[in-house]
Amino acid sequence: MDRSLHAALARWTLGLSPAAVGAAYLDWAVHLAACPGKRFDLLGEAAKQMARFANYSWAASLQSPPPTIVEPLPQDRRFAGAGWQHWPFNILSQGFLLQEQWWQAATSNVRGVSRHHEAMVQFGARQILDTLSPSNFLPTNPELLARTASEGGTNLLHGLQHMAEDWQRQVTHQPPVGADEFKVGVNLATSPGKVVLRNRLIELIQYAPRTEKVRPEPILIVPAWIMKYYILDLSETDSLVRYLTEQGFTVFMISWKNPGPAERDLGMEDYRTLGVMAALDAISAIVPSVKVHALGYCLGGTLLTIAAATMAREGDQRLKSVTLLAAQVDFSEAGELTLFIDESQVAFLEDMMWEQGGLDASQMAGTFRLLRSNDLLWSYIQRNYLLAERPPLNDLMAWNADATRMPYRMHSEYLRHLFLDNDLAEGRYLTGGKPVAISDIRVPIFAVGTEWDHVAPWRSTYKIHLLADCAITYVLTVGGHNAGIVSAIDRPNRSYRIATRDAGGAYLDPDRWLDEATRHEGSWWPALTAWLGAHSGEPVAPPALGAAEAGYPPIGDAPGTYVLET
């Protein structure tokens, strides 16, 4: 009864636990009420801001444009247009930014409030303020007013048509406008290859070689299952798979099944055994007597670390190296996603997933839109519904719209054991009934973080240095969680920093590493292939696709069938 009630309530709260949100605001309000000094400071700050705003408003009526009194954050582009520099819109934008400053002060540094509750209250205040931003409304946005005047209001009519079209596509579970131009196997995920293994959770793709000779050690790529695998094989110009094969590597890729109700009880251990370990067994049969370079992206990198630590514990020496792309192993500082992770919230999500059998793609997408509401929600509304613009989708946007589900048991274990309890970093995570330790891993590690990552902040991924004693080459590249990883060599405005810590070397904190790491222009992909090449043998003839005699015959062409499941 309780679980069914919570699941029904979750439909109205977007999956947020009312108890968790209420506890955070109660914690903040009670402690603020018990801090008269803090309230007095806030009152004084409000008086100062009112005086500054009054002076600014007076100056704005006499000169154009007056000097600003508060600058937005570097990533805030809402008031960057020229129209915002003129009266009365400069007054509106400056007044709004002053309010943001005051609420930041009001929700910060209240003695006694837990760090988690403080972050939740700050997040809630920011969401409310973002909703009320003058950039969101036609009468208070000079760019919207100018477009409406120049087009005689037809932009609003076309915007309503866009809104109706988006609503229809959402209720009928169709992809967004423009996604129809991208087809998996046609202009997405086009690298040639064969499916050489299929079980109830994965298809394993072996890609065809593009060079006469290849490095003897194959590469196994373990992508995240929160989205489709082909982010690493997007288009011909944005494919890490294509780049690796062109550099003389044999590449295998796991393609995860899109789970449904029948897979609700698959857990993290199933993903390890049916995923990583089953793939390694197949690769060892197809390319025998050589070790494997294993590469994991995002959640796939976390799983790969678990598998590598388990293999080290069991004396399994099939790995030659481990590469982690935007992957976390210590979740104590896992970014804004931790706003939604505490005991109350996890229990609430478990009840919702228990009824559904898993976490739906639209629910995950809603969480990410909340985390970046300015970029993913309000700017979309302005551009598509008020300006009536339909920016064309690119390959990365089309992939992002091709979402997957998460099984109930796996996602519950992931949230509890990794995010909530941080068991992997603290030596309590169990595989095969026994704990694993990342410090057991002895093969070299190549880890990549991205500067603007809101899913796996780079300082969180950097913590691999605290947990592994092996040699670690760490790369910090520009970009976000996805665009920073999909970094084709001809893409402009790319750069990265790189440094290596030898096995057993001294620890450098992230700030010092940032100062000392060597900066390079361009994509980090060549650095990866150079590192892999340095840990590989001399080139040999490429292996056959599959090994029928060993029980792994080619059973279909890439990209396979699991990636096509909706």
List active site positions. Answer: 298
Q: Give the SS3 label for residue 417.
A: helix
Please report, to the nearest 10 degrees, the dihedral formed by the alpha carbons of residues 230, 234, 236, 239 taken in order. -70
Closest CA to 111 of 32, 23, 21: 32
Please report, to the nearest 10 degrees, the dihedral formed by the alpha carbons of residues 202, 223, 431, 475 taken in order. 160
Write the DSSP string, 149-192. HHHTTHHHHHHHHHHHHHHHHHHTTPPPTTGGG--BTTTBS---
Please report, to the nearest 10 degrees, the dihedral formed by the alpha carbons of residues 26, 28, 34, 35 taken in order. -170
CA distances from 304 to 221, 460, 535, 541 (A): 9, 17, 19, 28
Contacts 24+ apart (CB under 8 A), 437-441: 437/309, 437/313, 438/305, 438/309, 438/329, 438/464, 438/467, 438/468, 439/467, 439/468, 439/469, 440/309, 440/312, 440/313, 441/305, 441/308, 441/309, 441/312, 441/322, 441/468, 441/470
Please report, to the nearest 10 degrees, the dihedral formed by the alpha carbons of residues 112, 115, 120, 123 taken in order. 110
Q: Give the SS3 label for residue 129.
A: helix
Q: Which amino acid is at 51?
A: A
How, if at all, do strands 518-521 and 495-501 pair?
antiparallel
Distance between start and end Cα atoms, the chain: 31
Find the angle CA(552)-CA(302)-CA(357) to the nearest 5 degrees. 80
Whole-angstrom distance, CA of residue 118 vs CA of residue 302: 28
Helix, strand and coil percent figures for the chain, each rounded to 5: 50, 15, 40
> Quick one: which H or E segment has residue 241?
helix 240-246
> Quick one: which H or E segment has residue 90?
helix 89-106
- Please give the DSSP secondary-structure letter assigned to residue 73: P
Whole-angstrom distance, CA of residue 420 vs CA of residue 343: 7
CA distances from 219 to 159, 188, 190, 280, 453 (A): 47, 21, 18, 10, 25
Q: Where are the beta strands (DSSP E) in 274-355?
A: 292-297, 319-325
* Beta-ladder partners of 120: none
Backbone angles phi, psi at 43, to 5 degrees: -65, -45
Q: Are the C-beta atoms of residues 448 and 487 closer than 8 Å to each other?
A: no
Please report, to the nearest 10 degrees, the dihedral formed by the alpha carbons of residues 114, 120, 124, 129 taken in order. 80
Whole-angstrom distance, CA of residue 349 vs CA of residue 16: 8
> Quick one: which H or E segment has residue 526?
helix 525-534
